[in-house]
Amino acid sequence: MKKQRVEQLWETIAYLICGVLTVVVNVATYKLLRLRLNKLPANTTAFFVAVLFAYWTNSTFVFRARRTWKNFLQFMEMRIGTLVIDNGGMYLLLLWGVDEMLAKCVVNGIIIVINYLASKLVIFRKSKGEEKI
């Protein structure tokens, strides 16, 4: 296998592992917060906890990029954009009678795909000649 192909495979596998871990952080935080908060406030708070975790894992293990304020702010902006999808998706699925935890996992799956594309193509994109850390 060519080096570039191996790197792409590693990146994809690492992203999937980190994505699953991010969903675990999101769902566990949500369940914990639901002991005291209503559904959407718990969902929003869990979302931000998971985003901080995702930024760290994506920059460290997946894209092996330097953590800068610029890419942190881009990452946060993109994730805040997906919060609309997260809360909107949760709201609609709950309105349609879908189980709360199933709705949470379905919406997170959709968001993983959107976030991967944004991270790879925009936020952690390498310039020509720029090396991973």
Rounded-to-integer distance, Cα 27 and Cα 33, Å: 10
Say which residues have a Cβ less than 8 Å from residue 46's Cβ, sequence separation at least 6: 26, 27, 29, 30, 33
Largest CA distance in the chain: 52
What was the pLDDT predicted at 98? Answer: 96
Per-residue DSSP letter, 38: -
Let me know: does 130 contact 94? Beta carbons within 8 Å.
no
Q: What is the mean pLDDT of each run of 10 residues along the chain (133 residues)?
A: 82 90 93 93 91 94 89 90 88 95 88 85 73 57
What was the pLDDT predicted at 29? Answer: 97
State phi, psi for 131 to the nearest 5 degrees: -100, 155
Nearest to 115 by CA among 70, 85, 94: 85
What was the pLDDT predicted at 130? Answer: 56
B/e letters for 2-29, b = 16+ CB within 10 Å, e = fewer, are eeeeeeeeebeebbeebbeebbebbbeb
Let me know: does 58 contact 119? Beta carbons within 8 Å.
yes
Global pTM value: 0.75
In the block, which residue shows the tokens 């991270």? 119
